[in-house]
């Protein structure tokens, strides 16, 4: 019996399942009054008969004031697809680049809408390589990559890494996820997720989000075995780049200083709760995509599948994603990361 299982048994009196509005209210009040701390203490002190873990999850995924509500915008969808092509199933890291979105939300979104769409549109989603490094994922029946906590996700996602014209046509989307393929692509500089296209006005890809200068900070395939994403602040291990890349991000604290100002200057803390049985999030995503299956294509490009507008990113129009100007936000974040993941109310 696992440790957590024993803990669960020891806490059999604790509530499980859906949260009641009263529980939500208790947690919100406590968090706004006392801020974050030890979740076990929070659960206890807030008068919640829940385990700390449950409280944490509820707060992070549902009650946090800075959470965005509503369906994913097309920009967010594109960003998710793009980031997933780079990061694989590292939902937390993807969420870190989508302000107001949680890893759970993105994961659900991916597992429902996006993955389905991609499959419908004949995009190759790589099958998970049989991993011998872990034994706890052997029961996984999904095509999700195996996970281990040394950041060696053994695959990830879709074989249409970047919706940009920067890629050589030799980047076949029909092949299986191959380390050697990916490496060769990488080392030949045909695959650098963070490069900026020559035409800097081409914001079709998401490089605009990353604010990666075309300057020299981008090193690809250097001898130290690391790939630097320049100002993006990422380090990719060369032997794992592409769909198997390891990406190291600086601690959130490092960038919070850049963003905390906005948080602190915003004195209006709004509790935007999703009501119980009052979920206004409808699946507008169905209308966002074209379900046309092109049987002639053995692998579609993401922008084809999702109907990316080549001019979209460079249109200059103000993008509204909830309350966020996602584009502007990303542009202003040198090291893109989500400052509120460890949200704390002062």
Stretch that binds DNA, among 105-113, 168-176, 196-204, 303-311 (CB under 7 A): 105-113
User: What six digits make up the tokens of 223?
Assistant: 């001898």
19 binds DNA (CB under 7 A): yes
Number of residues that bind DNA (CB under 7 A): 66
Q: Kindly give the pairing relationship between strand 247-248 and strand 218-219.
A: unpaired
User: Considering only residues 25, 32, 119, 140, which one is a binding residue for DNA as defined by CB under 7 A?
Assistant: 140
**Residue with smaller CB distance to DNA, 137 or 331:** 137
User: Considering only residues 8, 172, 178, 219, which one is a binding residue for DNA as defined by CB under 7 A?
Assistant: 8
How far apart CA 321 and CA 72 sit, in angstroms, is: 8
How far apart CA 4 and CA 233 sit, in angstroms, is: 35
How far apart CA 84 and CA 99 sit, in angstroms, is: 16
| Cβ neighbours of 343 (radius 10 Å) | 17
> What is the H or E stretch that residue 247 is in?
strand 247-248
108 binds DNA (CB under 7 A): yes
User: Considering only residues 93, 122, 126, 177, which one is a binding residue for DNA as defined by CB under 7 A?
Assistant: 93
User: Considering only residues 12, 17, 223, 251, which one is a binding residue for DNA as defined by CB under 7 A?
Assistant: 17
Beta bridge partners of 278: 275
Q: Nearest distance from residue 180's CB to DNA, in Å?
A: 23
User: Considering only residues 13, 130, 132, 139, which one is a binding residue for DNA as defined by CB under 7 A?
Assistant: 139
Beta bridge partners of 248: 235
Question: 295-307: string of b/e by CB count within 10 Å (b at 16+)?
Answer: eeeebbbbbbbbe
**Residue with smaller CB distance to DNA, 1 or 216:** 1
37 binds DNA (CB under 7 A): yes
145 binds DNA (CB under 7 A): yes
Q: What residues from 270 to 289 belong to the interface with DNA (CB under 7 A)?
A: 274, 277, 279, 281-283, 285-286
| DSSP state letters, 188-245 | TTS--TTPPPSSTT--SSSHHHHT--SSTTEE-S-TTSEEEEGGG--EEEGGG-GGG-
**Residue with smaller CB distance to DNA, 127 or 222:** 127
Question: Would you say 79 and 209 are in contact if contact means Cβ atoms under 8 Å apart?
Answer: yes
**Residue with smaller CB distance to DNA, 42 or 185:** 42
Given the rule CB under 7 A, which residues bind DNA? 2-5, 7-8, 15-19, 37-40, 50, 52-54, 56-58, 60-62, 71, 89-93, 103-105, 107-109, 111-113, 116, 134-137, 139-142, 144-150, 274, 277, 279, 281-283, 285-286, 341-342
């Amino acid at each position: 019996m696992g440790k957590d299982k024993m803990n669960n048994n020891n806490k059999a009196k604790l509530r499980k399942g859906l949260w009641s509005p009263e529980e939500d209210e208790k947690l919100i009040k406590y968090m706004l009054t006392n801020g974050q701390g030890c979740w076990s203490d929070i659960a206890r002190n807030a008068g919640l008969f829940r385990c700390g873990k449950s409280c944490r999850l509820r707060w992070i995924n549902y009650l946090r004031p800075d959470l965005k509500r509503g369906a994913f915008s097309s920009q967010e969808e594109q960003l998710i697809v793009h980031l997933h092509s780079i990061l694989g199933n590292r939902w937390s890291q993807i969420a870190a680049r989508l302000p107001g979105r949680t890893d759970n939300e993105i994961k659900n979104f991916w597992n429902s809408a996006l993955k389905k769409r991609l499959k419908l549109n004949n995009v190759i989603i790589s099958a998970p390589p049989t991993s011998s490094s872990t034994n706890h994922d052997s029961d996984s029946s999904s095509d999700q990559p195996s996970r281990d906590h040394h950041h060696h996700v053994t695959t990830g996602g879709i074989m249409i890494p970047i919706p940009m014209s920067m890629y050589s046509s030799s980047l076949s989307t029909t092949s299986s996820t191959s380390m050697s393929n990916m490496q060769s692509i990488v080392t030949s500089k045909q695959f650098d997720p963070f490069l900026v296209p020559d035409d800097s006005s081409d914001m079709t890809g998401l490089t605009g989000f990353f604010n990666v200068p075309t300057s020299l900070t981008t090193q690809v395939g250097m001898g130290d075995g690391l790939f630097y994403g320049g100002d993006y602040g990422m380090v990719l291990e060369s032997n794992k780049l592409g769909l198997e890349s390891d990406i190291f991000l600086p601690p959130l604290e490092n960038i919070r200083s850049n963003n905390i100002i906005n948080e602190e200057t915003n004195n209006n803390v709004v509790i935007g709760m999703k009501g119980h049985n009052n979920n206004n999030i409808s699946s507008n995503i169905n209308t966002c995509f074209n379900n046309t299956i092109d049987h002639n294509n053995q692998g579609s490009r993401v922008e084809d599948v999702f109907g990316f507008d080549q001019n979209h990113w460079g249109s200059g129009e103000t993008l509204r994603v909830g309350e966020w100007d996602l584009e502007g936000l990303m542009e202003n974040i040198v090291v893109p990361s989500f400052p509120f993941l460890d949200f704390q109310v002062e």
